[in-house]
Amino acid sequence: MELGAILGLYGRMVAMTEARDYAMSFLRDHAVFAIFRRTAETPLYRIEKRPSLRNKQGQYALIGAEGQVLKRGHELAQVLRVIERKLIRAVD
């Protein structure tokens, strides 16, 4: 379900030519889904899941290209909404 939501958003980004590649990393303490505009660049966004933060700030985080935390929360949909809003603005 989580991966489906992320891949759905990624698919919309590809359709709008905002993204071209992605990478997934499954580490011991967290998982990362990175979205790239071009393969050789740093990721536009990293979506991280850290279960150890579940009872604190929220296990999901959206991290921007510069490494800044754009959104952190307990619900994945809430965190992904930041990217979805930017896609809507790009269409308008």
If you average pLDDT over residues 17-33, what whole number do you get?
93
Distances from the Cα of 73 to the Cαs of 18, 57, 79, in angstroms? 24, 6, 6
The pLDDT of residue 57: 86
State residue 53's pLDDT score.
Answer: 87
Enter the tokens of residue 8.
Answer: 């759905």
pLDDT of residue 92: 61
* 70-79: long-range pairs with CB below 8 Å, 24+: 70/45, 76/2, 76/5, 76/6, 76/47, 76/49, 77/5, 79/47
The pLDDT, as a whole number, for residue 48 is 96
pLDDT tens-place string over residues 37-83: 887 788 999 999 999 988 898 999 999 999 999 999 999 999 999 99
Three-state secondary structure call for residue 20: coil
pLDDT exceeds 70 at position 13: yes
Quick one: pLDDT at residue 91? 64
pTM of the model: 0.88
* Both structure tokens of 72: 């952190």
